[in-house]
């Protein structure tokens, strides 16, 4: 202030400085207050989306249920041509349910309501479940699909359903972009490791961290062609970190990507809720 | 005599789906929408 106003007396200067200091404090408090308000508004929004997603699931479950019973002939014989259509109705319904579940997960994370159900699980059964769920998709795309579960494996403590969701997401992504997919799982030094390798187009180095952020996809022009919400990996990272583990990707452009995760064999109760 | 199952579910469609599935599988189905009604149906 002294340099800007050389003609001011020392008394006038210190008075001006005091006024500025008071004004700065006022502005600072105002910003702090505004950001508290924004945080609260954002929590209300997340809570609303969580409630809404739950409400969306109920009628969808009814539609899927009726379609399944109809397909099984419980309401009488159907014309042959309608059977594949019922299958399409069910496939689209299940897809929609998957999207709603994704939105529900992300809004729970944002509202701080995402909880783990810790229990004993076997790493091998997670890999088996994922293989079972993706085999037919891999077969339709005629891609090579292999899984190896190595070595002696203790029982883990974690949320089996959520960890299955993570591996399923990684394998689902790999199948979308590659013609060869390999899952490897094992245990070493108190940690489980799972890797999902593909021979896809690869991920540019500057994107390797970004893809774990919400709404981020490597090439958003791909979104229409390949689908996906851009939320899967953000949810995967949250689940893995809540277990006290970490997840990352190693990739070479033009050769493929390997997604790796490392989990403590027994997640501590502090990171999750039983 | 077919076995009896009591379905307790407050959501009408989900109750209907369970009822239709179970009766198609050969069970005799009773329905209730809540705890109090389910106790009454058991009598």
Contact A163, A243 (CB under 8 A): yes
Query: Kind and range of the H or E element at B6?
Result: strand B4-8
Chain A residues with CB inside 8 Å of B13's CB?
Answer: 59, 62, 65-66
Pairing of strands A119-121, A156-158: antiparallel
| Inter-chain residue contact B14 with A65, CB threshold 8 Å | yes
pLDDT at residue A46, rounded to an integer: 80
pTM of the model: 0.72
In this model, does residue A13 exceed pLDDT 50?
yes
pLDDT at residue A141, rounded to an integer: 82
Q: Measured between CB atoms, does B11 come within 8 Å of chain A? A: yes
pLDDT at residue A273, rounded to an integer: 46
In this model, does residue A1 exceed pLDDT 70?
no
In this model, does residue A263 exceed pLDDT 90?
yes
Q: Measured between CB atoms, does B25 come within 8 Å of chain A? A: no
Pairing of strands A144-149, A119-121: unpaired
Could you tell me the pLDDT band of residue A274, with boundaries at 50, 70 and 90? Answer: very low
Burial A59-71 (b: 16+ CB within 10 A, else e): eebbbbbbbbbbb
Over residues A133-161, mean pLDDT: 85
pLDDT at residue A246, rounded to an integer: 94
Interface mutation vs chain A, best among B7, B12, B13, most A CBs within 10 Å = B13
Tokens 């799972």 appear where?
Answer: A194
Neighbours of A118 (CB within 10 A): 21
Sequence-distant (≥ 6) Cβ neighbours of residue A62 within 8 angstroms? B11, B13, B14, B17
Instruction: Give the chain B residue nearest A55 (alpha carbons).
Output: B11
A81-124 tens-digit pLDDT = 999 999 999 989 998 998 888 888 888 888 788 889 999 999 99
Over residues A202-228, mean pLDDT: 73
DSSP of A134-197: HHHHHHHTT-EEEEEE-S--PPEEE-HHHHHHHHHHHHHHHHHH-SEEEEEEEEETTEEEEEEE
B1-43 tens-digit pLDDT = 789 999 999 999 999 999 999 999 999 999 999 988 888 887 5
Interface mutation vs chain A, best among B9, B10, B15, B17, most A CBs within 10 Å = B17
Over residues A223-246, mean pLDDT: 83
pLDDT at residue A106, rounded to an integer: 87
pLDDT at residue A272, rounded to an integer: 46
Residues, chain A: 274
Chain B residues with CB inside 8 Å of A59's CB?
Answer: 13
């Amino acid at each position: 202030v002294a340099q800007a106003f050389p003609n001011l007396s020392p008394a006038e200067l210190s008075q001006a400085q005091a006024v500025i200091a008071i004004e700065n404090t006022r502005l600072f408090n105002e910003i702090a207050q505004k950001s508290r308000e924004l945080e609260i508004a954002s929590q209300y929004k997340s809570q609303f989306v969580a409630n809404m997603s739950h409400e969306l699931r109920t009628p969808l479950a009814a539609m899927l249920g009726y379609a399944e019973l109809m397909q099984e002939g419980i309401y009488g014989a159907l014309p042959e041509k309608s059977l594949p259509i019922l299958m399409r109705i069910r496939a689209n319904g299940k897809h929609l349910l998957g999207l709603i579940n994704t939105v529900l997960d992300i809004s729970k994370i944002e509202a701080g309501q995402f909880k783990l159900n810790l229990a004993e699980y076997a790493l091998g059964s997670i890999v088996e479940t994922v293989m079972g769920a993706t085999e037919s998709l891999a077969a339709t795309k005629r891609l090579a699909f292999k899984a190896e579960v190595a070595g002696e494996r203790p029982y883990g403590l974690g949320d089996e359903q959520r960890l299955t969701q993570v591996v399923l997401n990684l394998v689902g992504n790999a199948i979308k972009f590659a013609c060869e997919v390999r899952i490897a799982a094992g245990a070493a030094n108190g940690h489980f490791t799972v890797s999902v390798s593909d021979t896809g187009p690869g991920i540019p180095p500057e994107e390797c961290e970004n893809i774990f952020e919400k709404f981020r996809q490597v090439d958003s022009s791909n979104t229409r062609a390949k689908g996906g919400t851009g939320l899967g990996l953000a949810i995967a990272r949250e689940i893995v970190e809540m277990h006290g583990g970490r997840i990352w990707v190693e990739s070479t452009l033009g050769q493929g990507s390997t997604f790796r995760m490392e989990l403590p064999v027994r997640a501590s109760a502090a990171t999750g809720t039983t | 005599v077919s076995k009896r199952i009591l379905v307790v579910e407050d959501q009408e469609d989900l109750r209907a789906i369970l009822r239709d599935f179970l009766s198609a599988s050969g069970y005799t189905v009773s329905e209730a929408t809540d705890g109090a009604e389910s106790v009454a149906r058991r009598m």
